[in-house]
Amino acid sequence: MSQLKLTYFDMHGGRGEPARLAMAIGGIDFEDSRFAFAEFAEVRKSTPFGQVPTLHVDGVLVTQSDAITRYVGKLAGLYPTDAYQALLCDEVLDALEDANSKLVASFGLSGEALKEARTALVAGPLTLYLTWLEQQLQAHGGEFFADKRLTIADLKVFAYVQGLNSGRLDHVPTDLVARVAPSVQARMQHLAATPAIVQYYAKFKA
């Protein structure tokens, strides 16, 4: 097995969380390299695009969050082998990356400018993507987003919902997901209660 080192913020959620969860669920040994937000300015100097997460595979640096998540998802058996089901999985990953990018664009704003930007996001893109997720979940059986089983698509949604519900995002109501996408909210709560994920997060409470 390759030696893996994932580098990302010391937080639950965000673009690095699906890969962390995939490796934890799949029983894949990896170095979970975390850093504080205050250290990002220095950490980003060692990344190709000034972004995280990054993954070292046997010492080779790889970037791009969804590429990393797909790779470790395949290692963990959490990525579909069927081409069409892989397409459905990728559709969710790419849609949420679009949604994340719109949200990230509001980072760095403050005061009234932040309030206006976030209010517009809640009324527009965030509601649009959550509504789409609700429809996709129902269209594929109401339990998983692809392959009728747990995949990295579910883990990507889990991290996205985790962020929206966290209270860390000023002017984004913590009940937004529950109101707009109740089935998605319920599924993510169910996923959070599964033994593998409970065990993963339990180690941070020790």
**What architecture is the 83-194 domain classified under in CATH?**
Up-down Bundle (1.20)
Q: Which residues of the chain have pLDDT under 50?
A: none
DSSP code per residue over 42-74: HHGGGSTTS-S-EEEETTEEE--HHHHHHHHHH
Q: Which residue, among 134, 122, 133, 135, has the nearest Cα to 92 in the 3D structure?
A: 133
Identify the helix (H) or strand (E) that includes residue 102. Answer: helix 83-104
Which pLDDT tens digit goes with each residue over 113-133? 999 999 999 999 999 999 999
CATH topology of domain 4-78+196-202: Glutaredoxin (3.40.30)
Packing angle between helix 182-192 and helix 195-202, nearest 10 degrees? 70
- Extents of the domains making up the chain: 4-78+196-202, 83-194
C-alpha 192/C-alpha 206 separation (Å) is 18
pLDDT of amino acid 206: 58
